[in-house]
Chain A
Amino acid sequence: MFRRYLLRRLVHVIVLFAGISAFSFVLLELAPGDFLGEAKLNPQMSPATLAALREQYGLNKSLGQKYLSWIGSAARGEFGISFAYNLPVSKILRPRVSKTLQLTLSSLLLSWFIAVPLGVWSAAAHNGFVDRAVGVAISALLATPDVVLACLALLMAVRLRAFHSANPVLPVAVLTLGALPILLRHVRAALLDVANQPFAQVARANGISGAGLWFGCLLPAAVNPLTSLFGLSVAGLISSSLLVEVLLGWPGVGPLFVEAIAARDFYLVVDSVMLSALFLSGGTFLADILLYVFDPRIRMEL
């Protein structure tokens, strides 16, 4: 039963990936100008060498041929050749992927391990002092754009000179603070929604209270809405990780992606987009597994 569920979700993700790759190929193909755009203006570059370069980079192949050649090279594990670096894209991306994963995974775990207990606690102390304090903190943090957080972190780094760019603490802190408010707000809302259900009142009437009620009875029932939130938070994290990497100079996929866009490095852009989608699909896949494990109604459905 579980295997069938995994198989279906896997097929779903693969179909999704085919869609994304086609989508980004078509999108970037339509982009006016290409890698050799600037080279044309360069007076020393003779038209002949220009044409040879275009041929070598395969820029004048039709969209279909490009897509097929890309899939061919993907099968070989190269995922296309980057024009700027003249290297297979996979070689360029591998070190950067581990850097980005290091950032996103740690801030994902950190933000969830803070958000769930604090969210449950503030829901339990509904309208108490704690709840109001958390509420004010949430709305203040929520209104602060990641950009500003990154700048403040940068300022602190400069002033204290303690953090050189290889130290992940600062980016992780910025990412976690960026993701925390949305999670806290959703966890609290989901818990309050469950706490108003009839079975919560019956549990109270049976004398179940405190941690046993909130963590033993209400939190498992709130898992379903929270797992769809998990996918959302992964998407948010990846986006803000791009920003934070660019601003704090963290050598992840982000800066490479922005650079590739400016340079119109076709395959590098496509692969970065695919990579970000891979992270996100991994997150939603994990969310589906969590849902399967925690919500018996889903298990029974198959």
Chain B
Amino acid sequence: MDSLNSPRRALAVHGLTKTYHAQRSWLSLKRIEFNWSLCARSKKIDSARMSYLSVVHALRGVDLELPAGKTLAIVGPSGSGKSTLARCIAGLLQPTSGEIWFGDQSLLPARAAHRYVQLVFQDPGASLNPRFTVADALLEPLRAAQSSTRSSCFSVAEGLQQVGLPAALANRLTSQLSGGQKARLAVARALAALDPDGPAILILDESLGSMDLCVRAQMINLLVDLQDQRALTYILISHDVSLAAHMADEIAVMAEGIIVKREPRVSWTGISPHV
């Protein structure tokens, strides 16, 4: 497996663990004020079932290495810890223990991670504030990180054009965009947050899962072009093996919080779509 340790190791993860403790003080019974409109919008009822268990070991010691410019797909049944791993690497979740190295820079604690690693969510539409215009959404990473230097030289039109969106969309509301356009805007926003010149990692947390076939095909082409232009490293989280087999240089299989198998793509083409 010598092809892996190419000179520039983009990402290295050692012994990553994450456990959730559901604390419930017996005194403060949460009065469940069920608000229909909020629940319908959130659509995450299934994740609520996890809170019934008292302690959940989401990650049980994950070791991972990823060369720059390559694409790693992580597949596995739901609840195997794929999303938790992705959020830990992207700095959205603080792991219980373990280290995450980007080149020679540690990504823990998560403050500096956002310049090197960005995550595109499962439902790109939900990761865009409906009250924002397209320009606001695109500029938010720069405004949030208060890096005035980069925001001055960043042009919205160029950011949109990079992902194939017409510049005329700039002042429409994000809620008025179509599914495909929202996905492209989410990618454009992630690119705006990353260092324009340095190496960077883009994590796609099942972002291509629920798309129409044509829209997904266009997104695949966009992601492949971007990888060539900006030497991006992709981590593709998905439960759809055929998508992983198509996109990735390597596929890692996760189950119950650890990586159980990891092989380069060429050896995957033959097998049936079920893991």
A and B in contact, CB less than 8 Å: yes
A8's contact among B29, B37, B52, by CB below 8 Å, is which? B29
Number of A residues, CB within 8 Å of B: 21
| Distance (whole angstroms) from the CB of B164 to the closest CB of chain A | 34
A257 to B163 CA separation, bound complex (whole angstroms): 71
Contacts of B37 in A (CB 8 A): 193
Q: From the candidates A15, A197, A300, A301, name the one contacting B36 in the complex (CB within 8 A).
A: A197
Question: B31 within 8 Å of A by Cβ?
Answer: yes
Chain B residues numbered 20-58 whose CB sits less than 8 Å from any CB in chain A:
26-37, 40, 52
Is A297 a contact of B34 with CB atoms below 8 Å? yes
Complex-state Cα separation, A197 to B39, whole angstroms: 10
B28 neighbours in A (Cβ, 8 Å)? 12
* 1/0 contact string of A187-223 vs chain B (CB within 8 Å): 0000001101110000000000000000000000000
Chain A residues lying within 8 Å of B29, measured Cβ to Cβ, are: 5, 8-9, 12
**Interface pair B27/A11, CB less than 8 Å apart:** yes
How far does the alpha carbon of A297 sit from the alpha carbon of B35 in the complex, in Å?
Answer: 13
- Contact, CB under 8 Å: B34 / A8: no
Query: Is there contact, CB below 8 Å, between B34 and A12?
Result: no
- Interface SS majority for chain B: loop
Query: Bound complex: CA of A59 vs CA of B229, how far in Å?
Result: 84
Hey, which chain A residues are within 8 Å of B36, CB to CB? 193-194, 196-197, 225
Q: Within the assembled complex, what's the spacing in Å between the Cα atoms of A197 and B32?
A: 19
Q: Which of A193, A224, A300 makes the CB contact (< 8 A) with B33?
A: A224
With a CB–CB cut-off of 8 A, which chain A residues contact B30? 301
Within the assembled complex, what's the spacing in Å between the Cα atoms of A24 and B267?
75
Question: Contacts A193-B37, A197-B40 given: A224-B32 contact, CB under 8 Å?
Answer: yes
Kindly list chain B residues whose C-beta atoms are within 8 Å of the C-beta of A194: 36
Q: Is A295 an interface residue (CB 8 A)?
A: yes
Q: Is the CB of B35 within 8 A of A225?
A: yes
Return B258 CB to nearest CB of chain A, in Å.
31
The complex places the Cα of A247 from the Cα of B28 at a distance, in Å, of 40
Contact across chains for B33 and A228 when beta carbons are under 8 A apart: yes
Of B26, B32, B52, the residue contacting A298 (CB under 8 A) is: B32
Residues of B within 8 A of A288 (CB): 31
Q: Digit string of A121-152 for contact with B (CB within 8 Å is 1, else 0)?
A: 00000000000000000000000000000000
Closest to A224 in B: B34
Q: How far is the CB of B29 from chain A (nearest CB, A)?
A: 5
Chain B residue nearest in CB terms to A11: B27
Find the A residue at minimum CB distance from B34: A224
Q: How far is the CA of A194 from the CA of B37 in the complex (A)?
A: 9
Contact residues in B for A12 (Cβ distance below 8 Å): 27-29
Contact check, A295 vs B32: say whether CB atoms are below 8 A apart.
yes
